[in-house]
A and B are shown apart, each in its own frame.
Chain A
Amino acid sequence: MNAISGTAQGGAAVNSAERRHDEVLLSVQDLHVWFELRRFGFGHAGYVRAVDGVTFDLHYSETIAIVGESGCGKSSLMKTILALHRPTKGDILFENRNLNALKGPELREYRSQVGYVQQDPYGALAPFMTVQRILEEPMIINGIKDKAEREARLRNAMEEVKMSPVDDFLQKFPHMLSGGQQQRVVIARAMLLEPKLIVADEPVSMLDASVRVEILKLLRALQDKHNLAVIYITHDLSTVRYFSERVFVMYAGQAVEKSLINDLIRNPLHPYTMALLAATSDPDADNATRFRDVPPGEPPSLVKPPKGCRFHPRCPHMIKDLCDAEEPPHFEPEPQHLVACWLYR
């Protein structure tokens, strides 16, 4: 019940989170999320293997970034962590409790401990509700009956996301706010129930470039202050460094490289990661004078992914009869730097 008790326990929660810095908050184990594909009149027509064997641990107050292109399964992974999808196979443990086993009130309590910030802030906010109602609703659903307490929490959350003076915004509808302000409201809503984990799915990709940094800095400040764990999902490696220490790269439903972000940028190991880095621009007039190296083709179908390494049809280093035949396991060529690629066998 800790999410819905009074604000006074906020301080205690911070201390205990600090103490547990090296304990695992969330453990994702061999997770598979498949969606059944049905063709009209033909019934079952295979599975979309959106997440296909992903494993990682996230500690209390830790940030991890998940990097990958659209369609590689990032959102499906997130939604499963948010308990909006059920795993097809594998487990998710939150504070050692298996999400598969949670039901009814337990599930609701779990969801109140995980805040969600999604890609499209406008789509995330009901257009006919004022900011005040948008923020009150989750508290009402989670049984905070005391109106004064709701009001106090709401104002506190608005101040935390720097929407002040609060009264200037409470009666506004989402369409009256800029994209950056809409995303602040979404973040305030995610913070209201004092979550332990925030899942941010491409939180800034729909925003104007100049607002992106502001929102990322806001998220990081909240993370520091409240010792939150954060999962930051993005396709843009250039923002990761300012936000998270650890990163993993996803391709076609699988994690292909896991490391510290500085190691990943200094020494990318997977050919797909190399391609992502090579395609990322920094402002430089010389960019206009050269073509960028981009691997041919597009990410594969997740219904019938390529045999062996899923990147092999696009990979310049493909090893015949190995990469196209056997799935590479994770190798560890340098400490804490894992890669699923046969080059490191």
Chain B
Amino acid sequence: MPETTLLHIEDLQLFFRAGKGVVRAVDGVNFDLNANQAVVVLGESGCGKTSLAKAILRLLPRNVDTYDGKIYLHDQNVMELSDEEYRRQVRWLKMSMVPQAAMNALNPVLKVGDQVAEPAMIHNAMDKEMALGQARKMFQHVGVPLDFLNRYAFELSGGMRQRVAIAMSLVTAPDLIVLDEPTSALDVLTQANIFNVLKRIKSELGMSFILITHDIATSSELADSVAVMYAGQIVETSDAHRFFHEPLHPYSGKLMDSVPRLRGTQEPDFIVGQPPSLINPPTGCRFRDRCPHAFGRCAEEPPTIRQDGRTVKCWLHVA
């Protein structure tokens, strides 16, 4: 493992028990993240992105069937920790999360300043005064006026509430933040504002990010690298430059073609059909029935090929 690697994920699995069988939501995921970098996880709805975040942060529902694999955080495999150790040493202190729709989940009866301070009191054992001081610092980093500390969530605009949710994830001074669709529900100017905030805390605090989204255009605002998820698996990983210039996997290519562009004239196209069910996913390449390049060999599961620091899971790239 190169020494700048912050997070190294190997063969991560998270399966759920459902009425009709086992949902293979995260089905053997591998990727790396370097310190002070942002990786974007892209994919359509239902491909397992949120489940991947839950698996990384060990935020598991009751109906877990399988939870397995390796998650190295600074050389330590945190999968070996007990739940209690994980809760005390890892979640919040080393990795925290801004969940999907976090801005709508703030406590309505607690002042937002107190809410942001709370995790620092619980996890960093700060007294209230110190934690509030820390919250004040985070408000400055995310650009929320300090007099908002005493306000309630309903008094804030959507953009301000999202900044508060980000401040809350920062207050415990983690190394890594997982953001699940942080701007999908926001207006264009507010989205741009939130990405400015994330860029700023990345450079000011040396923060690292996993950004989960289906919005490819805005994901490029933060991405150093990209991991494309399809039907519970990572089908491509790449540095952002080469990815946005020329994706390797046919699914990535289709995703890129679906983006309406403001500058440029290419008509966007869409991907016919839907991702497969993750209960008994198809054998062979899971993208086969939607892939314009599918051929005989695709009936077998493709291997993940490594090429110049990128990876791609597709038979087209097998020599």
Chain A residues proximal to chain B, CB less than 8 Å: 69-70, 178-180, 208-214, 217, 235-239, 241-242, 265, 275-285, 287-288, 291-292, 294-295, 298
Contact = CB atoms under 8 A, between A and B. Distances in A.
- Which among A235, A277, A278, A283 has the highest number of chain B CB atoms within 10 Å? A283
B199 A288 contact: yes
16 contacts: A70-B187, A208-B44, A209-B216, A210-B214, A211-B270, A213-B260, A237-B262, A275-B189, A276-B188, A277-B262, A279-B191, A281-B192, A281-B220, A288-B221, A288-B222, A291-B199
Given A213-B270, A281-B217, 18 more contacts: A69-B187, A209-B258, A210-B214, A210-B270, A242-B260, A279-B191, A280-B188, A281-B191, A281-B221, A282-B220, A283-B244, A284-B220, A285-B240, A285-B244, A287-B220, A292-B195, A294-B189, A298-B157
- Which among B38, B195, B241 has the highest number of chain A CB atoms within 10 Å? B195
A277 B263 CA distance: 10
Contacts of A214: 270
Contact of A285 (B243, B269, B271, B274): B243
Interface string B244-270: 110000000001101111111001111
B189 A276 contact: yes
A38 to B, nearest CB: 18
A209 to B, nearest CB: 5
A329 B193 CA distance: 30
Given A235-B188, A237-B188, A285-B245, A209 B221 contact: no
Contacts of A178: 45-46, 274
Contacts of B217: 238, 280-283
Nearest to B245: A285
B215 interface: yes
Nearest to A314: B189
A263 B145 CA distance: 38
Interface residues of B, number: 49
B196 A209 contact: no
Nearest to B265: A241
Contacts of B243: 285
B99 interface: no
Nearest to A242: B260
B189 A282 contact: no
Contacts of B232: none
B5 interface: no
B159 interface: yes
A287 B259 CA distance: 16
Contacts of B244: 283-285
A180 B270 CA distance: 12
A208 B188 contact: no
B259 A283 contact: yes
Interface in B147-186: 157-159
B223 interface: yes
Contacts of A213: 258, 260, 268-270
B189 A279 contact: yes
A287 B221 contact: yes
A242 B263 CA distance: 12
Nearest to A206: B185
B224 interface: yes
A217 B270 contact: yes
B261 A282 contact: yes
Contact of A239 (B192, B260, B270): B260
Contact of A235 (B46, B159, B187): B187
- Which among A276, A280, A288, A291 has the highest number of chain B CB atoms within 10 Å? A288
Nearest to A236: B188
B267 A238 contact: no
Query: What 9 pairs between A and B have smallest CB-CB spacing?
Result: A279-B192, A214-B270, A208-B45, A285-B240, A292-B192, A69-B187, A238-B262, A281-B217, A285-B241
Contacts of B44: 208, 210-211
Interface string B189-214: 11111011001100000000000001
B36 interface: no
A294 B188 CA distance: 10
Contacts of B157: 298
B189 A69 contact: yes
Contacts of B216: 209, 283
Given A285-B223, A292-B195, A210 B255 contact: yes
Contacts of B219: 283
B196 A292 contact: yes
Interface string B54-76: 00000000000000000000000
B100 interface: no
Interface in B73-111: none
A283 B220 contact: yes
A318 to B, nearest CB: 18
B160 to A, nearest CB: 8
B218 interface: yes
B267 to A, nearest CB: 6
